[in-house]
Structure 1
Amino acid sequence: MRIGAERGDAAGPVADDTALRLAAIVESSDDAIVGKTLDGTITSWNKGAERLFGYREDEILGRSVLTLIPPERQHEEHDIVARLRRGERIRHFETERCRKDGSRVPVSLTVSPILRADGTLIGASKIARDISERKATEAQLRRQGQRLATLNRAAQLILRELDLDRVVAIVTDIATELSGAQFGAFFYNVTDDSGESLLLYALSGAPREAFEAFGMPRNSAVFAPTFAGTEIVRSDDIRQDPRYGRSPPHFGMPAGHLPVVSYLAVPVVSGTGDPIGGLFFGHELPGMFDEDTELLIAAVAAQAAVAMDNARLHSAARHEIARRRAAEEAKALMLDELKHRVKNTLATIQAIARQTFRATPPAERDSFLARLQALSDAHDLLNETRWQGATMDDTARRALRPFRDRWSERIAAHGPPVDLPSNVALLLAMALHELGTNACKYGALANDSGRVALTWALDEAGRLRVTWRESGGPPVSTPRSAGFGSRMIERTVAAERGTVAFDYAPDGLHCEITLPYRLHREASAVTNPR
C-alpha cells in the first residue's frame, strides 16, 4: 500500500470515493485488519479485530502490537518486519495470538507493507483470520485417524490370536488406550474343564495388587446392568450416581481403592446373546468419558466378543480333538469352523468400521477396509489348501491382484518354486498389500511411467529373500517417521524371526524381507495350478 501519492485535482473525487469504498470494506470485513508502524504501534483497528481480539478501538490504538502476541511468539514480529524490509509480503502465516481475556486463538496472518509515495516502508497492514474451526476439525480428524489405526491394530492382533487370555489382554490394553482411562479392566466368565463357572480379569494401567485386596466386583446396583449385558453405564462422577454406595459390604469405594470418579462400563455379549463379561474404565478426574468414547469402546467390545467366541471355539475344538483321538478329522472340523468364524469376524469388523467411522475421510476408511480385504484374500488362498500352506507364486499373485488389474504391464513378479507355511504366506500377503498400496499413493504406481519388480529366491543359508524394487516413479526421500504400513511389516516379520530393510533411494523404494525358510514337504506341499 502506498500513501501520499501525487495526483491531479481531477482525480481527487475519484480517489476520495475509492478511499471511502476501501474504508467501508475494511470496516465490514469479518477478518481482523490492523495497521501498525514499524516500531509496532497499532494505528488502525476494524470491527473484525474487535470481535476477534476483544479490544475496542479506543482501548488498543497507540498500544504495541506485542499486546496481542504470546511471549514465546514475540520473536515472530521481528521476523515479519525483517521480511517486509526485504520487500516480501507474508501470506497465510499460521500462528497464535492473545485475546483480551487471556485466551489464545489460532490465526492465519497476511501482512502487507505500507509505503510512502517514494517507496519508503513506514508500517504494515495485517489481516488476521480466525482458523479455530479449521484447527478443531483437523484435530478431530487426527484423533479419528489415530483411533482408526488403533482399531486396525486391534483387528490385526485379535485375528491372529486364538488364546483367550491373550485376546482379553490385548482388548483390555487397546480399549484403555482408546478411552483415555487411567485404569482399565476386563472381567469375564469362563467355564473350566469340570464345568465350574469362574470370574477372571485382566488389567491395564494398574498392578494386579491394586485390585486383589478388594476381591471381584459384585453384582451391585451399579455393576448389574453391565454384567447382565443389557446396558452401558457411563458416569461423569460415579459418586453422584443414585445407585452408588447401596451394596454391602463396602457401600461405595473401599478405603485404599484406586481413585475412580469418571466411570465407563461396557458389556461384552457373545454372538449367541449371552453376556461374556464387561470392560470397565476409570479416571480420577470427572467428566473424562464422552459419547464418542462410549461408541468407540462399544465397537471394541463387539470385536472382543467375536474374538472371544473364536477363542472359545478354538478351545472347544482342541478338546474335541483330544476326545475323539482322531487328529485329522478333528483338525478338519476346527479349520472349517475357524474359517467360518474368521470370515464372520472380518465381516463384523468391516461393518463396525463403516458405521463407526462414517464421518472419517474416505481415504482413511478405504485404506482400513482394503487391509481387511487383503487379509480376507490371503485367508481364502489358504482355505483352498485347508491351511497346509501356499506357494510363493500364488501368494504374490493373490496379494498383487488388486494392483495388477490396473497396472498389469508395470508389475513383474518372478522367482523359483517355493512352498510357504501358512503363517509365512499370510505375513507376506499382508506385506505385499502394504507395499502395493504405498506404491499407488507415493511410489512407482503414482505416475504413468513407474514400474515394480518383485523377486524371491532361497539363499545358501536356507533363507527366503523377497525383494520389492520400484523404479521410474516420483522422487523418493526418507520419511521423517515410519508409517503404519512399514511398522506393521517390521513387526510381523520380526515375529517370525525375520528381518526387513527399507532403502528410500531417490529413484525408487527398495524393500528386502528375509525369513528363515524351513520346508516341511509333507506338511506344506501344495498343488500349484497353472
Structure 2
Amino acid sequence: MHVPNFTGLNYTNVFLQMPVAAYICDDHNNLVAYNPAAEKLWGSIPVIGKPCEKHSQDDEFTIVRPDGSKSIVQAHITTLPDTAGTVVILMDITAQIDDDNREARLAAIIESSDDVIISKTLGGYITSWNKAAEKLFEYTEDEIIGKHITTLIPEDRHAEEDIIINRIKNNLRVDHFETIRITKSGKLIPLSITVSPIHNRKGEVIGASKIARDISKQKQSEERLQMYAENLEILNSVGQIISADLDTQGILQKVTDATTQLTGAAFGAFFHNEVNEKGESYMLFTLSGAPREAFEKFGMPRNTAVFKPTFEGEGIVRVDDITKDPRYGHTPPHYGMPEGHLPVVSYLAVPVISKSDGVIGGLFFGHPEPGRFTIEHEKLLAGVASQAAIALDNAKLYEEVKSLNAKKDEFIGLASHELKTPVTSLSGYLQLIERNMPAADLNNTFIKRARQQVIKLTSLIEDLLDVSKIQTGKLPFSFTTFNFVQLFNDAIEMMQHNNPSHTIRAEFDANQLLIYADQQRIEQVIINLISNAIKYSPDAGLIIIKGQATNSKLKVSVQDFGIGIAKDQLKRIFSRFYRVENLAAHMSGLGIGLYISHEIIHRHHGKIWAESELGKGTTFFFEIPLQQNGDR
C-alpha cells in the first residue's frame, strides 16, 4: 500500500477505504499510489515509480498473480479534481463472467433439451417456456407466457396443481410424478414431471421450475406388455378350460363362446370337419351370440373364394368390410349372404389346423359394424386355434394321454429321487467343508452362499414335485391330531432364526389348540406365507403373524409392510406359476408357493385369501375348520 499525496481536496481516506482496487499514475504514466484492495488483487507489492500499463476505458483483461491464480478485471479511468495524473479503478468481474457463462450454458441446455422445461410463479403463472414445450404443447412462447399453468392441466386434474404448489412453498421437490396434461389442440399426453423450488438471493422460494418428459411410448409399451400378459393368461385359461373337456362338442362350444367374447364379435361359429363311421366327411358346428336356427336353414358354408383360405388352411382372413372385398359376392345362387342371414360387415376367420390331421375346422366371426377386429385379435385367435386343435386331438387320444401321464408321473418320481440324492449329498459336503474351514478363511462367505442356494434348489424341487402331484391328484396328506400352537411357535422360531433381517411378532390367543389336520402341510403353508412376507418387504423389518380360534374355525393371518399387491391381481396370485406383475420382477421364485398353499387349504376344506394396498403391505389369511373329516 502506498498513500497518495493529494493536494487541495483530501481524498486519502476515501482512496484507502475503497472496496475495489484503485491506483494512481502521474502525468508521466508512472505508478505513484495504490490502495489495499489493489495490493490484494495483484497479490504482490508493486514498485512505486514503475510505469503503469496503459488501459482504455472499460478495457477487460486478466491479472495473473504470483501464485498462479487469475482474475478477470475491467478498468475504469478517471481524474480527480486538483490532482495530477490518472486514477485507474479495477473491477473484479470474474464472478460476474462466471455467472453470465453459467446462465448462457444453462439457457443453451434448456433450449436444446428434448424435455419440456417451464418455470412459473407461486401463483401458477408461466414465466419461461423452452422449444420442447412449444413442440409438445403446441403453444408458442408469446402465446403462453403469462398464462396460468392450468391452461395445460385437464380440468379433472386441477387439484394436482394445489398439491404441487403447496410442496414447493414448503421448499420440497416433486419427483417423477406421472400425470396427464393437455395440448393446445386438446390432445391428452401422459407425462412424468419433476418440479423444484426457485429461490432468490435470500434463499426465499419465489417460484417453481418444471421438467416434463413425454412418456407416451413408455405407457404404450407398458400397455402392450400388459396386453400380452393378459392375452397369455387368457390363452392359458382357455387352454385349461378346453383341455379339461374330452367331449368334442363341449370343446367346440367352449372355444366358440370364449373367442366370441374375446373378439367382441356379434356372433361366432366353429365349423368342424368330421368324418363319420362310413368315412364320409361332413361339418358340425357350434354357435355363440346367435341361435342355431339362424344358420341351420342356410346349410353348411361352401368352399367359396371367401371361405377357401380358411377351409384349406391358407391363413387367417380379417376384413374390415367383407361386402367390399374383391372375393365377395361372385358365387351363385346368392352372390353374397343369403336373404335373412345375420348381417356381417366385419369378418374374421381362423383355420384350426392339427399337426396330425391337417385342417380340422375353422373359427368364423362377424359384426354388423366395420373395422371391429384388429391384428391383436388375429394373434390371440391364432393361439386359441392352436390350443383348440390340440384339445380336439387330445379328445381322440385320451387313452394314450392317460398312459403317457402315468409314464410322466413315474419319470417325475424317478427324476426327483435322482435330483434330491445329489443335492442332499452336496449339502452334506458343504456342511463338512464349512465345519473344517478356519473361521478367518475368506471362502467361508462363498460356502454359506452355496449352502443357501442348495437349500433354495431343494425347496424348488419339492415344490415342483408338489405341483406335479396336485395336477395328478396324488398330493399325499396324513391327518393326525396335534397341538397347533406348538407348531405355530416352532415354525416362527425357525423362520426368525433363518431371517435375522426381519422381526417376526407372533400373537395367539391360546396356549394349546388341538386340531385334526396334516401337520406337515399346515406348517408348509405357514412357512410359505412368512417367506413371501419377508421376500416382498425388503425395506420393512416387521412381520406380524396372528392365530385365532373360534368354536368351529382356526384363522391365521400373516401381515407384512412391504410393496403390496394391486387389487386387480389379488384374485390371480394363487394361480400356478403366477407372479405379481411390475413390482418384483427381480425377485427369485417360480410363482408356485401360493398355488400349493391354496391346494393344501382347499384339501382341508378351508379357504385362503389376501388383502393388500400398494406401498403399504399385504396380509394373507387362511381358515380351516377345527372339526373335519379330512383325507384319510
TM-score (norm 1): 0.65
Amino acid of the residue matched to residue 511 of structure 1? F
SS of 1:154's equivalent in the other structure is helix
Residue 57 (structure 2) aligns with? none
Please state if 1:480 is matched with 2:567: yes
Is the alpha carbon distance of 1:93 and 1:206 closer, same or farther for their aligned partners in structure 2, counting shifts above 3 Å? farther
Residue 152 (structure 1) aligns with? 236
Is the alpha carbon distance of 1:390 and 1:130 closer, same or farther for their aligned partners in structure 2, counting shifts above 3 Å? closer
CA distance in 2, matches of 1:342, 1:155: 21
Residue 44 (structure 1) aligns with? 128
Please state if 1:511 is matched with 2:622: yes
SS of 2:332's equivalent in the other structure is coil
Please state if 1:377 is matched with 2:468: yes
SS of 1:16's equivalent in the other structure is helix
Please state if 1:302 is matched with 2:386: yes
SS of 2:397's equivalent in the other structure is helix
Is the alpha carbon distance of 1:288 and 1:78 closer, same or farther for their aligned partners in structure 2, counting shifts above 3 Å? same
CA distance in 2, matches of 1:375, 1:169: 33
Please state if 1:217 is matched with 2:301: yes
CA distance in 1, matches of 2:116, 2:144: 13
SS of 1:109's equivalent in the other structure is strand
CA deviation string 1:272-330 (max 9, x = no partner) = 2332110112334434444443233222211111110111334xx6xxxxxxxxxxxxx
Which consecutive residues of structure 2, in runs of 5 or more, have no partner in the other structure?
1-90, 411-460, 479-494, 499-514, 546-551, 577-594
Amino acid of the residue matched to residue 228 of structure 1? E
- Does the 8 Å contact 1:310/1:338 carry over to 2? no
SS of 2:574's equivalent in the other structure is helix
Amino acid of the residue matched to residue 335 of structure 1? K
Please state if 1:272 is matched with 2:356: yes
Residue 177 (structure 2) aligns with? 93
Is the alpha carbon distance of 1:512 and 1:213 closer, same or farther for their aligned partners in structure 2, counting shifts above 3 Å? farther
Is the alpha carbon distance of 1:206 and 1:89 closer, same or farther for their aligned partners in structure 2, counting shifts above 3 Å? farther
Cα distance, 1:105 vs structure 2:
1.1
SS of 2:230's equivalent in the other structure is helix
SS of 1:216's equivalent in the other structure is coil
Q: Which has the higher contact order (CA 8 A, sep 6+)?
A: 1
Please state if 1:500 is matched with 2:607: yes
Cα distance, 1:379 vs structure 2:
8.3
Cα distance, 1:201 vs structure 2:
1.9
Superposed, 1:119-130 pairs within 5 Å as 119-130=203-214
CA distance in 2, matches of 1:206, 1:499: 41
- Does the 8 Å contact 2:235/2:380 carry over to 1? no
Please state if 1:202 is matched with 2:286: yes
Amino acid of the residue matched to residue 477 of structure 2? M
CA distance in 2, matches of 1:254, 1:342: 54
SS of 2:333's equivalent in the other structure is coil
Amino acid of the residue matched to residue 572 of structure 2? F
Cα distance, 1:17 vs structure 2:
1.6
CA distance in 1, matches of 2:387, 2:408: 12
CA distance in 2, matches of 1:152, 1:228: 27
- Does the 8 Å contact 2:529/2:620 carry over to 1? no
Amino acid of the residue matched to residue 170 of structure 1? K
CA distance in 2, matches of 1:110, 1:507: 30
Cα distance, 1:176 vs structure 2:
3.1
Cα distance, 1:143 vs structure 2:
0.3
- Does the 8 Å contact 1:271/1:309 carry over to 2? no
- Does the 8 Å contact 1:150/1:174 carry over to 2? no
- Does the 8 Å contact 1:234/1:263 carry over to 2? yes
Superposed, 1:240-319 pairs within 5 Å as 240-314=324-398
CA distance in 2, matches of 1:416, 1:153: 35
How well do the aligned residues superpose, as a CA RMSD in angstroms?
Answer: 4.8
Please state if 1:170 is matched with 2:170: no
SS of 1:125's equivalent in the other structure is strand
CA distance in 2, matches of 1:432, 1:265: 52
Identity of aligned residues (%): 42
- Does the 8 Å contact 1:96/1:106 carry over to 2? yes
SS of 2:314's equivalent in the other structure is coil
Cα distance, 1:217 vs structure 2:
2.5
Amino acid of the residue matched to residue 60 of structure 1? I
Aligned length: 425
CA distance in 1, matches of 2:148, 2:354: 66
| Structure with more of its chain in helix, by fraction | 1
Amino acid of the residue matched to residue 622 of structure 2? C
CA distance in 1, matches of 2:94, 2:535: 64
Residue 429 (structure 2) aligns with? none
Residue 102 (structure 1) aligns with? 186
Is the alpha carbon distance of 1:133 and 1:294 closer, same or farther for their aligned partners in structure 2, counting shifts above 3 Å? same
CA deviation string 1:9-43 (max 9, x = no partner) = 55222211211111111111111111222333322
CA deviation string 1:98-131 (max 9, x = no partner) = 1222212111111122233334443222111111
Cα distance, 1:245 vs structure 2:
1.0
- Does the 8 Å contact 2:316/2:351 carry over to 1? yes
Higher gyration radius (CA) = 2
Residue 196 (structure 2) aligns with? 112
Cα distance, 1:178 vs structure 2:
4.0
CA deviation string 1:357-412 (max 9, x = no partner) = xxxxxxxxxxxxx9x97798338967xxxxxx66437xxxxxxxxxxxxx9x98xx
Please state if 1:18 is matched with 2:102: yes
Residue 357 (structure 1) aligns with? none
SS of 2:202's equivalent in the other structure is coil
SS of 2:164's equivalent in the other structure is helix
CA distance in 1, matches of 2:325, 2:267: 20
Please state if 1:392 is matched with 2:477: yes
Amino acid of the residue matched to residue 273 of structure 2? N
Cα distance, 1:141 vs structure 2:
0.8
- Does the 8 Å contact 2:608/2:620 carry over to 1? no
CA distance in 1, matches of 2:330, 2:599: 49
Please state if 1:336 is matched with 2:413: no
Is the alpha carbon distance of 1:480 and 1:381 closer, same or farther for their aligned partners in structure 2, counting shifts above 3 Å? closer
CA deviation string 1:188-225 (max 9, x = no partner) = 13345666544222233444454445443332211122
Cα distance, 1:447 vs structure 2:
8.4
Cα distance, 1:475 vs structure 2:
6.0
Amino acid of the residue matched to residue 55 of structure 1? Y
Amino acid of the residue matched to residue 146 of structure 1? E
Please state if 1:76 is matched with 2:160: yes
Is the alpha carbon distance of 1:228 and 1:160 closer, same or farther for their aligned partners in structure 2, counting shifts above 3 Å? same
Amino acid of the residue matched to residue 571 of structure 2? G
Amino acid of the residue matched to residue 336 of structure 1? S
SS of 1:12's equivalent in the other structure is helix
Is the alpha carbon distance of 1:262 and 1:471 closer, same or farther for their aligned partners in structure 2, counting shifts above 3 Å? same
CA distance in 2, matches of 1:278, 1:439: 49
CA distance in 2, matches of 1:190, 1:432: 52
Amino acid of the residue matched to residue 42 of structure 1? I
- Does the 8 Å contact 2:466/2:475 carry over to 1? no
SS of 1:33's equivalent in the other structure is strand
CA distance in 1, matches of 2:191, 2:143: 21
CA deviation string 1:121-154 (max 9, x = no partner) = 4322211111111111110111011011111212
Is the alpha carbon distance of 1:438 and 1:178 closer, same or farther for their aligned partners in structure 2, counting shifts above 3 Å? farther
- Does the 8 Å contact 2:138/2:185 carry over to 1? yes
- Does the 8 Å contact 1:36/1:42 carry over to 2? yes
- Does the 8 Å contact 1:190/1:199 carry over to 2? yes
More displaced, 289-298 or 55-64? 289-298
Residue 270 (structure 2) aligns with? 186
CA distance in 1, matches of 2:110, 2:354: 63
CA distance in 2, matches of 1:131, 1:47: 18
